[in-house]
């Protein structure tokens, strides 16, 4: 683990370094900085895992440093060490993700106890493969359907999850590069080749890496819209049109999902969200609507109506019609004055 100690007093810095060197397990790297400005330079050059910082320092104080770390390097753990006993400072630093606060003069016992809590506490630092694949599936579907609001919401949640996973910048860059490669491969399989998203981009913070990834996703959607000559095809409208024109056939949800180019699970969820009906409910209601239209034509036999709307089993058709419409097909026809 790499640690950075920030304090404007040389004696304090040396004392903290000595106490850190005496801690077990030992740190792989111990750096120091005399103020927030120097600390940021070191953080951007070589991200530490843990920053111990004083509050009152020239050029940039500890609170401002914590604020910037929280915004740009959210995976870095922070500990505030200060001579100010006023808890107001601790409260302010906690707004920036600081969870540990020590008062000067800090003893070896105090410091080691704090390090036990910070260093030895299990960290996630792990992104479950199942979660990773799920994010990719959903991103692919939202881009393909050009659902920009849903895509932006997903990106926000993805960003929050990545940060909470407590991964290093190197790990995040590797995962994002892999995400880009996977999405490009998936779209190419759909005969769509978006602009190649640059991989191994030099970024200096987690925020910059995630911003770059977000811009790449939005560019993919923009390229897709351009490839369709600006014509947006709503997958649900396409699906409904396909269902409506194949009422006499027993088409499955999987078939319709494949036709519009999305996974069955995603299609089922999106269809219900958009139409407020399940795929099966929608198809049954459409079949009954068509049946009513055909029953209004006197010369068409009821048994032929049943076949035209996908029911080879006549009793099943009459039972379903009565359940949906409230009366039998023959009574419906009688109500129209047709004998």
Question: For residue 69, is pLDDT > 60?
Answer: yes
Coil, helix or strand at residue 125? coil
* 78: exposed, middle or buried (Cβ count in 10 Å: 0-12, 13-18, 19+): buried
Question: For residue 260, is pLDDT > 90?
Answer: no
So what's the pLDDT on residue 283? Answer: 92
So what's the pLDDT on residue 301? Answer: 92
Question: For residue 134, is pLDDT > 50?
Answer: yes
Q: What is the mean pLDDT of residues 130-145?
A: 80
Parallel/antiparallel/unpaired status of strands 2-6 and 29-33: parallel
Contact 272, 239 (CB under 8 A): no
Contact 60, 38 (CB under 8 A): no
Dist CA 262 CA 68 (whole Å): 41
Chain segment 201-245, per-residue pLDDT in tens? 677 888 888 888 888 888 888 888 888 775 556 778 888 888 988
Q: Which CATH fold would you assign to the domain 235-335?
A: Arc Repressor Mutant, subunit A (1.10.10)
Chain segment 281-313, per-residue pLDDT in tens? 999 999 999 999 999 998 899 999 999 999 989
Spatial strand order in the sheet of 100-103: 29-33, 2-6, 50-53, 77-82, 100-103
Chain segment 166-193, per-residue pLDDT in tens? 677 887 888 888 888 888 888 888 788 8
Q: What is the mean pLDDT of residues 105-121?
A: 80
Across all residues in the chain, what is the average pLDDT? 83
DSSP 157-185: HHHHHHHHTT--HHHHHHHHHHHHHHHHH
So what's the pLDDT on residue 124? Answer: 47
pLDDT band at residue 131 under the 50/70/90 scheme: low
Contact 205, 169 (CB under 8 A): yes
Q: How many other CB atoms sit within 10 Å of the CB of residue 273?
A: 10
To the question of pTM greater than 0.75 for the whole model, the response is no
DSSP 263-323: -HHHHHHHHHHHHSS-HHHHHHHHHHHHHHHHHTSTTS-HHHHHHHTT-SSHHHHHHHHHH
State the DSSP H helix or E strand holding residue 38, giving kind and residue range, or none if neither. helix 36-45
Q: How many other CB atoms sit within 10 Å of the CB of residue 60?
A: 17
For residue 108, what are the CA distances in angstroms to 21, 103, 116?
11, 12, 12
Chain segment 27-47, per-residue pLDDT in tens? 888 989 988 899 888 888 878
The CATH class that applies to domain 2-119 reads alpha beta
pLDDT band at residue 120 under the 50/70/90 scheme: low
């Amino acid at each position: 683990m790499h640690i950075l100690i920030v304090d404007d007093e040389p004696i304090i810095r040396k004392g903290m370094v000595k106490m850190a060197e005496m801690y077990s397990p030992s740190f792989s790297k111990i750096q120091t900085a005399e103020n927030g400005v120097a600390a940021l330079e070191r953080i951007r050059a070589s991200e530490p895992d843990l920053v111990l910082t004083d509050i009152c320092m020239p050029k940039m104080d500890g609170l401002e440093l914590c604020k910037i770390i929280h915004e740009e390097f959210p995976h870095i753990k922070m500990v505030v060490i200060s001579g100010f006993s006023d808890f107001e400072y601790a409260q302010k630093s906690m707004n920036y993700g600081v969870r540990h606060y020590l008062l000067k003069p800090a003893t070896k016992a105090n410091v080691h106890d704090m390090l036990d809590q910070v260093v030895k506490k299990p960290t996630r630092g792990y992104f479950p493969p199942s979660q990773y694949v799920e994010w990719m599936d959903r991103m692919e579907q939202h881009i393909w359907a050009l659902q920009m609001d849903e895509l932006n919401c997903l990106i926000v949640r993805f960003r929050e999850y990545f940060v909470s996973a407590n991964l290093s910048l190197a790990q995040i860059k590797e995962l994002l590069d892999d995400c880009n490669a996977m999405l490009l491969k998936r779209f190419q399989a759909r005969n769509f080749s978006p602009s190649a998203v640059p991989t191994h981009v030099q970024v200096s913070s987690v925020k910059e890496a995630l911003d770059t990834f977000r811009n790449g996703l939005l560019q993919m959607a923009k390229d897709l819209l351009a490839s369709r000559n600006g014509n947006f095809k709503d997958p649900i409208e396409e699906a409904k049109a396909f269902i409506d024109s194949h009422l006499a056939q027993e088409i499955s949800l999987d078939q319709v999902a494949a036709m519009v180019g999305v996974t069955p699970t995603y299609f089922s969820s999106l269809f219900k969200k958009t139409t407020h009906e399940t795929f099966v409910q929608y198809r049954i209601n459409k079949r009954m609507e068509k049946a009513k239209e055909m029953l209004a034509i006197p010369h068409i036999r009821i048994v032929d109506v049943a076949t035209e709307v996908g029911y080879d089993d006549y009793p099943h058709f009459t039972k379903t019609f009565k359940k949906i419409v409230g009366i039998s097909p023959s009574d419906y026809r009688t109500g129209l004055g047709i004998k």
